[in-house]
Chains A and B, each alone.
Chain A
Amino acid sequence: MFADEKLINVPFDVYRYDASRGGEPRYQHYELRLAPHTPILTGLLRIRDELDPTLSLRYSCRSAICGSCAMLVNSKSRLACHTPVGPEVREHGRIVVDPMRNQPILRDLVVDQQPFWSRYEKMEPHLILDPKHPMPEGRTTPMSPAQVERFKETPRCISCAACFSACPAVEADPAFPGPMALAKLYRFVVDPRDTAQTHRLRTIQTEGLWLCLRCHLCTEACPKDVRPSERIRDLKELAVQAQGGTEAGSRHAIGFLKNIEERGTLNELKLVRQTSGVTGLAASLPQGVRIWRKKPEVTKSPPPIEDLDQVKKIYAALKDEKAEES
């Protein structure tokens, strides 16, 4: 229990801005004496109560279930109610609080979440049923614990947008749906009640699935351990399994896999052809020439590595594991 904790000095630097009144954003400094386990949200509400009633933020449940209070805490996307002050002060000496990224700032720590919600809506986030196979009348759909298991942690998602805020692909490309939307999509793709798996996978392959940078910052940011980046990986696997190499992204993945299996290393030239086809290869020609001038070895077909038999063993083991799973 926290009973014996000593109070510590907690310096806050909080982002202040009001889009309705314009002006320059600034940081405002506050200091509180708090027990180290105190959640940052409690600190911000104490600031409102005791120091400055004009500080604005979203909050409601204070127990990491409503998803209202995501913000940047010392540059990381966090739920304020789920992040204690102590470790932040120990590591950074102070607590810098900013509004989330990738969403326009309305006021102080309040952002306009439209970019987040509109991407979610695009996932057709509801069960799609085949009229020929309606839900069983007067009873529930049977679903084994193993089938429930397939949702993994996606039902824990509280739509807080911490992952969306942390995602560099969202920042770079407006076509990327973002981690939460894709984790949601995964939840419908593995749902035994849903009948639109093919449609969903085909659509998402051309609408952003392969834009994920695999940096896992979303998984690091998620306060509920939904692990969005792993669900994106799962989606890619399902897409390739079901539809093969229909997209540059999936062809790249398949090509990568084959390359390593054959030689234990990458044949970059071959990979480009596998990913983008002969026309793609032709389109990449000027870039290829530039690379060839600087690093000619990259454009050559590399010999297989010495311990290729080890690689083959890994592939065989993976195949066995897959067979066992199914």
Chain B
Amino acid sequence: MLKHDIVVVGAGLAGQRAALAAARAGHDVALVSKLHPLRSHSGAAQGGINAAVGKEDSVETHIYDTVKGSDYLGDQDAIEFFCQQAGPTVIEMEHFGTIFSRSDDGSLARRAFGGAGFPRTIYAADRTGLALLQGIYEHLGTETIRIYEEWFLLSVVVRDGRVQGITAFDRKTLKVEGIEAKAVILATGPFGRVYGRTTNAHSCTGDGVAAAYRAGAALKDMEFVQFHPTALMESSILITEGARGEGGVLKNVNGERFMARYAPHVLDLASRDVVSRAIVTEVKEGRGFPGGFVHLELMHLGKEKVETRLQEICDFSRTYAGVDPVTEPIPVYPAQHYMMGGISTNMKGEASLIGLYAAGEAACVSIHGANRLGGNSLLETLVFGKQAGLAAAEFVGTAPDPEIRDDDLDKETARIQELWNRSEGESPRALRAELQQTMDQLVGIYRSPEELYRGLRQVRALQERYRNVRVIDRSTTYNIDLTDALEVGNLLALAEVIVVGAIARTESRGAHTRLDYPARDDKNWMKHTLARWTPNGPELSYAPVAYTRWEPKERVY
């Protein structure tokens, strides 16, 4: 049996930061990832990372903006800690080697982002995620960490409420192995692929979140799904909020800057939930372009600015939409972008099972509450990745030896065998396509009870059909027919939790907009949703929101 003190699953920014912290504390750390670490989805983050380092800005304002952005569902103690860590975190990443864009005076360049009182988003052109991912990976190379590259997570092994390690297989050989560990940190990112229209990579299938859920850990606030206002038509590839931060504007078919009607003070730089709702409303009310989209205009910024600060955006628009942003508007429409929900943790990254930790988008602390601000997710991966690594390191000092037993492995091998041996059945990709269609159509930006219930029935019908899913590929190396099947199982489990949470929450808050309950209901709903697995579907309970200083107010931009 393989054995380490701490196993980190997922090698994006949060996973690598956690591994670094744990290794620095002197522990034997393994990093397990289904992709090479540099191929993680963190690298796709474009716009930037927030830190109130400007003279006119303050940590206090960053905290307030984040609390307000969360629609008062974020835990204020966690948000305070988070924003205080922003400056030191960015400095640390700069010292690790990250190459940021600079101002003329040699300091870090900053740009404006949605829902922020000041330009506080530090960036590296429009590939900030890639710059940070390279920086941390380079630095991680100076530590001794065992990397299980292209290993696929099957389960988190728990006995008597205590984590014993994980089971996983090497995609090269398909051999199921146990990796014993006193602590497991899940940093497997989001599950945006429950939607078809998503900016997320194909690999964002929530393998860690689903494994935690099946192992009995609580998930939090899963009904809060962020739709990014500006994704390219057809491909849903992300066009960074930084494009509007640099001065880009949204226009409808009449050439009108429609955001003036939805956010009179900050216009295009309102919070993402506000802008996404505005775009959907414009299109619904007949003011979209034929085909159902609006325009993002950058032409007035000039060729030089667009081509240097928004270099990737130029390439993406030209390659994937056939438009040149220097001379033409970009056709955009909202797409799923970020999961506010995830594995419920506290500020130290501790989940609800002993020895289980989570960080990054896989986790829900919660600092984003009902709506995340742009530029806060890269920061979250690093701040809470480190927290989880430190907490796990402290924990393993006194934790008993873990044990993975044969039946823990047999159970997972049997799960694969069952898929493998079925001589007839459905394609995992067909089920995935139907799931994505269901979620796109019925569990989107505006939510009605009829559609949500229909969505739930359809997701459960798909779960039923999944029992008959079949793997055709017979190879034991890079069998993506098999990983597709396992991933679809994870997506189906998590989609159900999203819909059940959305049905229960009879209010509108942040990204969760109920047509039948259009107002925020602080009296009844200022609380986190917790979901636990049962054989009959998720069981919901609720937990209070942590307050420090900010009284809920009406949210106006």
Contacts and interface: CB of A to CB of B under 8 A. Distances in A.
Interface of A: 1-3, 18-21, 37, 39, 48-49, 53-54, 56-68, 82, 84, 106-108, 110, 113, 117, 121, 125-127, 135, 138-145, 147-148, 151, 155-156, 158-159, 187, 191, 193
A64 B126 CA distance: 13
A143 B233 CA distance: 38
Contacts of A63: 44, 235, 237-238, 316, 320
A47 to B, nearest CB: 11
B475 A60 contact: no
B90 A54 contact: no
Contacts of B237: 62-63
A61 B43 CA distance: 9
Interface in B101-135: 101-108, 124-125, 127, 129-131, 134
A125 B97 CA distance: 10
Interface in B212-254: 233-235, 237-238
B541 interface: no
B104 to A, nearest CB: 6
A106 B127 contact: no
B104 A144 contact: yes
Given A53-B429, A158-B43, A145 B472 contact: no
Nearest to A20: B477
A60 B480 CA distance: 12
Contacts of A20: 173, 475-477
18 contacts: A1-B322, A1-B323, A39-B319, A48-B480, A53-B429, A60-B41, A61-B41, A62-B237, A65-B130, A66-B201, A84-B319, A107-B478, A126-B141, A127-B97, A148-B102, A155-B125, A155-B130, A155-B131
B189 to A, nearest CB: 11
Contacts of B172: 106
Contacts of A3: 291
Most chain B CB within 10 A, of A107, A139, A140, A144, is at: A140
Nearest to A144: B106
A53 B473 contact: yes
Interface of B: 35-36, 38-41, 43-44, 88, 90-91, 94-97, 99-108, 124-125, 127, 129-131, 134, 138-139, 141-142, 172-173, 201-203, 233-235, 237-238, 291, 311-312, 315-316, 319-323, 331, 427, 429-430, 433, 472-481, 484
Nearest to B477: A20
A110 B468 CA distance: 29
A125 B141 contact: yes
Nearest to A83: B319
A67 B38 contact: yes
Nearest to A61: B201
The 8 lowest CB-CB distance pairs between A and B, nearest first, are: A142-B106, A20-B477, A54-B473, A61-B201, A126-B138, A2-B322, A135-B95, A140-B94
B104 A145 contact: yes
A84 B234 CA distance: 14
Contacts of B433: 49
A151 B139 CA distance: 18
Given A1-B331, A68-B35, A107-B475, A60 B99 contact: no
A64 B315 contact: yes
B106 A143 contact: yes
A18 B477 contact: yes
B413 to A, nearest CB: 18
Given A65-B130, A106-B172, A155-B127, A127 B39 contact: no
B19 to A, nearest CB: 15
Nearest to A141: B94
Contacts of B44: 61, 63, 65-66
Most chain A CB within 10 A, of B323, B430, B475, is at: B475
Contacts of A53: 427, 429, 472-473, 481, 484
Contacts of A54: 472-475, 481
Contacts of A58: 478
Nearest to A113: B36
A66 B141 contact: no
A155 B124 contact: yes
A37 B232 CA distance: 14
Nearest to A66: B39
A20 B479 CA distance: 11
Given A56-B480, A141-B95, A65 B475 contact: no
Contacts of B473: 53-54, 56
Contact of B139 (A18, A57, A61, A126): A126
A67 B484 CA distance: 20
Contact of A107 (B90, B103, B477): B477
B472 to A, nearest CB: 5
Given A66-B43, A107-B475, 19 more contacts: A2-B234, A18-B475, A20-B173, A39-B319, A53-B429, A54-B474, A63-B237, A65-B312, A66-B40, A67-B38, A108-B478, A125-B138, A127-B139, A145-B101, A145-B102, A155-B99, A158-B38, A159-B36, A191-B97
Nearest to B319: A82
B95 A56 contact: no
B151 to A, nearest CB: 14
A2 B127 CA distance: 26
Nearest to B45: A65
Contacts of A57: 480
A68 B202 CA distance: 11
A159 B320 CA distance: 21
